[in-house]
Amino acid sequence: MKIQSRAVHSGDRKKAGPQIPVSTPIYTASSYFYDTTEQLDQVFAFETPGYAYARYDNPTNSALEEVLTSLEGGRGTLATASGMAAIEIALRVATMTRPRAIVAADALYGATIKLLNQILEPLGFRIHYADFCDLAEVERAIARTQPGCLLMETISNPLLRVAPMDRIAELARAAGVALVVDNTFATPLLVRPLELGAHLSVNSLTKYLAGHGDVLGGSVTSDAEHYDALRATGRVTGPLLGPFEAYLAMRGVKTFPLRMERQCANAVEVAEWLGGHPKVERVHFPGGAAHPDAEAVRRLLPAGQFGAMVSFEIRAASRAEVFGFMDRLKMIVRATSLGDVHSMLLYPWMSSHRDVGPEQKARVGIRENLVRLSVGIEAVEDILADLDQAL
């Protein structure tokens, strides 16, 4: 071949040989070819396993999807470009053969509320909200609105309510309705929604699973009923995570249980300490003795592990005083997101719930003096010292 052709073809597409790399490499190839066209045809026909085109899947993503399925249970996982992409495809798949109506928990991440109200409703979906911590209200909403799907978070953002997912799954299955759960705050270390009867479990990989503040990603883990539709939709609409991000997420997942255990233990201490601080009016933490969902917490979360998010209200603080508190933090990172190795603090009124209407904020209980702390893996004394000097 001439240099122009050799520059394009040499070096690439070598057979892997007998060796096996200990960690999965980043496969950036956009397409794959085989010794014979017949083999490629069989891959396209799903008659033999293999890769054909990167919008369908690639070996780096498959490795990540395999480990996520092993953590969450279920038939299989689709890794997506963000947590929001995961929620969107999960809702579409859940309602593909069911009514285009969703009953959603009124306590949800702000962008999820926007997805429902500003994207799906204009597309013809009927959207209804209910207090998922009140089982009778969920039952009434199902009977009244005949939805195709229910949507909830395992531990809600930002007030950390824990709805009785196991009972809600029973209601959903009895009514032939799909249950989609956003498991981001709990992670599969604490709760595996599919084992409790949910149909699709979503994670923002950006948070605890990747855990280092350097990658955006999401995942949908599906039961057997929805898996083929999930993959088929993904192949056509193309929301897949890129292989670089899949590699980073996979690297994060390896230490995720270790990090999460430490973060949960730190959070117990932080919540207890905040509860005794004179400048703190109220602490929201599923491990707190006065938590309104104590029964569901006992049933659904492992003993002593309540997640690593702690929200609290600063006594009589105005917005300016909350900003002052945040500006004084020295180690805790004042930024949006959560679940990273470093502790992070965010003001839901300004960021995650900025565009949620005042009535919905009031109904859920998001007040102007509320901050949300994602407890990291640092030494807990340093987290407490930083909070103390800033308060």
Nearest residue to ligand PLP, by Cβ distance, number only: 83
What does the alpha-carbon distance between residue 209 and residue 83 come to, in Å, rounded to a whole number? 11
Q: Is the peptide bond before 302 cis (omega within 30 degrees of 0)?
A: no
285 exposure class (CB count in 10 Å sphere: 0-12, 13-18, 19+):
buried
Q: Does 201 bind ligand PLP (CB under 6 A)?
A: no
**By C-beta, is 317 or 373 nearer to ligand PLP?**
373
* Nearest-approach distance from CB 391 to ligand PLP, in angstroms: 25
- Residue showing tokens 């229910």: 150
Q: Does 106 bind ligand PLP (CB under 6 A)?
A: no
Q: Does 239 bind ligand PLP (CB under 6 A)?
A: no
Stretch that binds ligand PLP, among 26-34, 69-77, 82-90, 143-151 (CB under 6 A): 82-90
Q: Give whole-number Cα distances, 323 to 345, 350, 355, in Å.
A: 11, 10, 19
- Answer yes or no: are the C-beta atoms of 119 and 209 closer than 8 Å: no
The secondary structure of residue 21, as a DSSP letter, is -
* Nearest-approach distance from CB 90 to ligand PLP, in angstroms: 11
What residue type is assigned to position 339 of the chain? G
Q: In this chain, which of 153, 313, 340, 386 binds ligand PLP, going by CB under 6 A?
A: 153
What does the alpha-carbon distance between residue 205 and residue 216 come to, in Å, rounded to a whole number? 7
x/- contact string, 353-382, with ligand PLP (CB under 6 A)?
Answer: ------------------------------
Stretch that binds ligand PLP, among 44-52, 99-107, 177-185, 374-382 (CB under 6 A): 177-185
What does the alpha-carbon distance between residue 149 and residue 188 come to, in Å, rounded to a whole number? 22
**By C-beta, is 344 or 380 nearer to ligand PLP?**
344
Stretch that binds ligand PLP, among 179-187, 260-268, 307-315, 362-370 (CB under 6 A): 179-187
Q: Does 83 bind ligand PLP (CB under 6 A)?
A: yes
Residues of span 297-336 touching ligand PLP by CB under 6 A: none
- Answer yes or no: are the C-beta atoms of 150 and 177 closer than 8 Å: yes
Q: Does 206 bind ligand PLP (CB under 6 A)?
A: yes
The beta strands (E) that lie in the chain are given as 76-80, 101-105, 126-130, 149-153, 178-182, 200-204, 218-222, 280-284, 309-314, 333-334, 344-346, 370-374
**By C-beta, is 317 or 332 nearer to ligand PLP?**
332
Using CB under 6 A, list all residues that contact ligand PLP: 82-84, 109, 153, 157, 182, 184-185, 204, 206, 216, 218
